[in-house]
Amino acid sequence: MGRKKIKVLIVDDTVLYRKIIRDTLASFEEVDVVGTASNGKIALSQITALKPDLVTLDQEMPELNGVQTLRMLKAFNGKMPATVMVSAHTTKDAAVTMQALELGAFDFITKPSGASMQSNITALERQFKPILQAYAVKSNLGRAPVVSRKVPGETPPPGGSIDPETFTGQAIQSNLRPEAVAIGISTGGPKALAQVIPLLKTGLSQPVFIVQHMPAMFTKALADSLNEKSSLLVKEAENGEIVTRGRVYIAPGGKHMKVVKSLGGQVTIEITDDAPENFCKPAADYLFRSVADVYGKKTLGVIMTGMGRDGVKGLQVLKKKGAAVLAQDKKTSIVFGMPMEAIRAGVVDQVAPLSSLAGEINRICTGI
């Protein structure tokens, strides 16, 4: 018996894009496109009839737009399918996409603007591949084994293999008083961050650096959305700016972010165009290494929901410096990939659910 396929419903008001997305998804053996709909109202009835696992939702549609449809899906009487928002690469659509992700959309793709049908399909294939992989892992359609993979250059975890599903670690000492917090996050990040960053205490004395895997333009929308909800200033990081205590800096999409310290002791941010790491740009590993160089053991590393291994090697560098690491648990992670790999590598001190992460960061940072 073959592996269960992912049933997908495509929702878009343009015939052309329904065809492009259908042709794109047809290239994935694990996908079965069960239907299409031209607006959200039709989609809701199709979802009831076809029971898809995943729905692609265009932002702008007549009758019901993407966010309105998503809101109605949240009240859906039955299993809610995962949703992938389809966004134009505009400031307006980026803001709407953030709203959808905070409402619980699984992920998003951007509409390509290639010169040919095939170039657009190729661009969409690159975007859909990691999303489908993440969905398969989340749904246990392609579950990874518990035993760690051997990765060249990585130190095996102390005491043999660790089961990331049962490991909880021990509470990080509240007398650590770190000088910086560094967070790596991916799939499910905007919704998770919206439940963490606004709950960080007013007057927090540490800067908070965040790498969220996301394209250019969308990280600015993420920063703006979080800033509206938070007492701390949240902004997309800029090249050359001086790091200020109590601010939250989000790496710009499509670029890397690192921190550097001058001979005089001043810490600034550098935004670079270096090569992707772990197929990611920005990459958590890239940020974590620089934070280890500048803040060393006075760092709190945080690894949250997301697919893949980004962050593991950077956290290893932080741990060698004596830093502490907090990870999100499996139950509350949209995709338990990045935290799982960090736990397997033996670089996590404490595991906590999403609802406790802000409280733990506050406790560790303030000593209270």
Q: Which of 12, 87, 107, 213 is catalytic?
A: 213
Residue 141, pLDDT score: 55
Q: Is 213 a catalytic residue?
A: yes
Q: What is the pLDDT of residues 166-196, one digit of tens each?
A: 899 999 998 889 999 999 999 999 999 999 9
Residue 143, pLDDT score: 43
Beta-bridge partner residues of 225? none
Overall pTM > 0.85: yes
> What's the CA gap between 270 and 256, in Å, rounded?
8
Residue 114, pLDDT score: 80
> What's the CA gap between 193 and 220, in Å, rounded?
14
Rounded mean pLDDT, 230-240:
98
Whether residue 146 is predicted with pLDDT greater than 50 in this model: the reply is: no
Amino acid at 291: V
Q: What is the pLDDT of residues 271-281, one digit of tens each?
A: 999 999 999 99
Residue 78, pLDDT score: 65
Cα–Cα distance list, 110 to 94, 214, 303, 305, 341 (Å): 9, 11, 26, 21, 28
User: Considering the chain, what percentage of its residues have pLDDT values greater than 90?
Assistant: 79
| H or E, element range at 253 | none
In the chain, the domains with their CATH numbers are 6-138 (3.40.50.2300), 180-366 (3.40.50.180)
DSSP 30-92: TEEEEEEESSHHHHHHHHHHH--SEEEEESS-SSS-HHHHHHHHHT-SSPPPEEEEEE-SSHH
Rounded mean pLDDT, 199-217:
95
Least trusted range by pLDDT, from 26-40, 70-84, 95-109, 324-338: 70-84
Rounded mean pLDDT, 47-68:
91
Q: Is 310 a catalytic residue?
A: yes
Supply the mean pLDDT for the chain: 91
282: preceding bond cis by omega (within 30 degrees): yes
Rounded mean pLDDT, 300-312:
97
> What's the CA gap between 223 and 251, in Å, rounded?
9
Rounded mean pLDDT, 236-249:
98
What tokens were used for 322?
Answer: 């004596």
Residue 2, pLDDT score: 59
Residue 76, pLDDT score: 73
Sign of the CA dihedral 295, 300, 306, 310? Answer: positive
Which of 55, 54, 23, 24 lies closest to 40, judged by CA?
55
Question: Which residues, including other chains, have CB under 8 Å from residue 320's CB and lie 6 or more apart?
Answer: 292
Q: Which of 93, 107, 285, 310 is catalytic?
A: 310
> What's the CA gap between 290 and 258, in Å, rounded?
5
- Assign 136 to helix, strand or coil: helix
Question: Which residues, including other chains, have CB under 8 Å from residue 105's CB and lie 6 or more apart?
Answer: 57, 70, 83, 84, 85, 97
CA atoms within 13 A of residue 110's CA, in its CB half-sphere = 17
Confidence band for 154, pLDDT divided at 50, 70 and 90: very low
Read off φ and ψ for residue 6, nearest 5 degrees: -90, 115
Residue 88, pLDDT score: 84
Long-range pairs for 139-146: beta carbons < 8 A, 24 or more residues apart: 139/6, 139/53, 141/3, 141/4, 141/6, 141/30, 142/3, 144/340
> What's the CA gap between 47 and 45, in Å, rounded?
5
In degrees, rounded to 5, the angle at the alpha carbon of residue 223 between the alpha carbons of residues 304 and 334 is: 30
Tokens 């799939």, residue located: 187
Whether residue 44 is predicted with pLDDT greater than 80 in this model: the reply is: yes
Q: Is 186 a catalytic residue?
A: yes
Residue 92, pLDDT score: 85
Whether residue 253 is predicted with pLDDT greater than 90 in this model: the reply is: yes
Confidence band for 139, pLDDT divided at 50, 70 and 90: confident
> What's the CA gap between 341 and 312, in Å, rounded?
7
Rounded mean pLDDT, 12-40:
94
Q: Which of 148, 186, 230, 333 is catalytic?
A: 186
